Amino acid sequence: MSSTPVDTAVDATARARDLLGVSRLTNSALTAWLHGLPGVDQVGCEARAAALGTRSIKTDSKKWAIDLAISMIDLTTLEGADTPGKVRGLCAKALTPDASDLTAPRPAAVCVYGDMVATARATLGTDSGVNIAAVATAFPSGRASMAVKLADTREAVAAGADEIDMVIDRGAFIAGDYLRVFDEIAEVKKACGSARLKVIMETGELVTYDNVRRASWLSMLAGGDFIKTSTGKVSPAATLPVTVIMLEAVRDWLDLTGEMVGVKPAGGIKTSKDAIKFLVAVNEVAGEAWLDNHWFRFGASSLLNDLLLQRQRMTLGYYSGADYITDDAPSLY
């Protein structure tokens, strides 16, 4: 996290020109490129995802997968009602996921609104191994001026965010203004400095799998370090088929460019069983190189406790209960 910031926006455009084989990056060049990607057959894609979901992960491999999944969580609170107290609780949970079993791994990061970064930093300190991710760019709608989005990003980074979760302008994407989406991502990436950038595509609003594939490639082309499904505010959020398409995209991007990009499904993944299905998909679609929290994350909150319940069950040999797992994010209502 200490590398010198580079002018990635310029790099992104130059590289995009190179990859597309054009002298100037125009919307029509981007359109031709994105629309030239292979189509996705919905039924076939969903069948593939369902088949991955039938893998039966038992005993040692389940134990391993649970710990890996815990380590991949971006433990998230993104409510209008977030308070410093709520964020401190979240951070405490991240530091000690299972107070009864200190061998439980910590999640990868906490994920908060930008104005909570400082609070989080104060609780987590600098050597906990738990990163701070901040949503930015007028999350969740992204409906603000570029100046606001960039300021949002810079403030979060300045406050100590290690990672920025931006949203793309879905309106622009759906209107076919790919260059605008590209430029925004590239600009935000530039504003991130050394922070890693996750690009939220809000796949639930893109609706079709073809759009998911195109948005994935556009986000990677523009310099995103991660492609992320959702804000968590729109349903459907992180579905397995959408994640499979994104895993195919990062796999193929590696083939094309030699670079790895991370994947983050976020929203709706609540159970250990679900999480393990996603890990199977990571393993079999993108490959085992992505089975690492540097390259794969779960955007989630309640998932952590379900994983811990399963972990206790496997450690203890009997079923545990909610009263044996600390909960720092109970419902407000």
Partner 1 sequence: MTKFEYAPAPESGAVVDLKPSYGLFINGQFVDGTGTSFKTISPATEEVLAEVAEASAADVDAAVKAARAAYTRVWSKLSGADRGKYLFRIARILQERAREFAVLETLDNGKPIKESRDVDVPIAAAHFFYHAGWADKLDYASLGPNPRPHGVVGQIIPWNFPMLMLAWKIAPALATGNTVVLKPAETTPLTALLFAEVCQQADLPPGVVNIVTGAGVTGQAIVDHHSIDKIAFTGSTGVGKAIARAIAGTPKKATLELGGKAANIIFDDAPIDQAVEGIINGIFFNQGHVCCAGSRLLVQESIADEVDRRLKRRLQTLRVGDPLDKNTDVGAINSRAQLDRITSLVAAGEAEGAERWDTGCPLPEKGFWFRPTVFTGVSQTHRIAQEEIFGPVVSVLTFRTPSEAVAKANNTPYGLSAGIWTEKGSRILWMADQMRAGVVWANTFNKFDPTSPFGGYKESGYGREGGRHGLAAYVTTGEGA
Partner 2 sequence: MSRVEVKKTYKLYVGGAFPRSESGRSYEVTDSKGRFLANAALGSRKDARDAVVAARKAQAGWAGATAYNRGQVLYRVAEVMESRKAQFVEEVRAAEGLNPTRAAAAVDAAIDRWVWYAGWSDKFTQVLGGLNPVAGPYFNISAPEPTGVVAVLAPQSSSLLGLVSVVAPVIVSGNTAVVVTSFNRPIPAITLAEALATSDVPGGVVNLVTGNPAEMAPWLASHRDVNAIDLTGVADTDIAWAELERAAANNLKRVRRPLIVDGSAVEPDWTLSPGLNRIESYLETKTVWHPKGK
Q: How far is the CB of 207 from partner 2 (least distance, A)?
A: 7
Determine whether 165 is an active site residue.
yes
Give the range of 75-83, 207-215, 219-227, 304-312 binding partner 2 by CB under 8 A: 207-215
Q: What is the dihedral of CA 197, 203, 204, 208, to 10 degrees?
A: 170
Determine whether 93 is an active site residue.
no
Alpha helices in the chain (DSSP H): 8-20, 27-35, 42-52, 59-71, 84-95, 117-124, 146-158, 170-174, 178-192, 203-206, 209-221, 240-257, 272-281, 302-316
Q: Figure out which of the listed residues 5, 44, 85, 125 binds partner 2, where binding follows CB under 8 A.
A: 44
* Token pair belonging to 304: 């952590």
Nearer to partner 1, 25 or 275 (CB): 275
Pick what 208 binds: partner 2, partner 1, none; C-beta below 5 to 8 Å, kind-dependent: partner 2
Pick what 65 binds: partner 2, partner 1, none; C-beta below 5 to 8 Å, kind-dependent: partner 1
Distance CA 73, CA 306 (A): 12
* Token pair belonging to 244: 């499979």
Query: Which residue is catalytic, options 98, 152, 162, 165?
Result: 165
Query: Which residue is catalytic, options 86, 189, 264, 277?
Result: 264
The residue written with tokens 């994640």 in the block is: 243
Calculate helix-pair angle for 272-281, 302-316, nearest 10 degrees: 100
Instruction: State the CB neighbour count (10 A cutoff) for residue 158.
Output: 12
Give the range of 17-25, 48-56, 203-211, 232-240 binding partner 2 by CB under 8 A: 203-211
CB 38, CB 216: distance < 8 Å: no
Residue window 234-253: x/- pattern of binding to partner 1, with contact defined by CB under 8 A: -----------x--x-----
- Site of interaction with partner 2 (CB under 8 A): 41-44, 46, 207-209
Q: Which positions touch partner 1 (CB under 8 A)? A: 38-41, 43-45, 47-48, 54-62, 64-65, 245, 248, 279-280, 283-284, 288, 291
Among all residues, which ones are annotated catalytic? Answer: 165, 228, 264
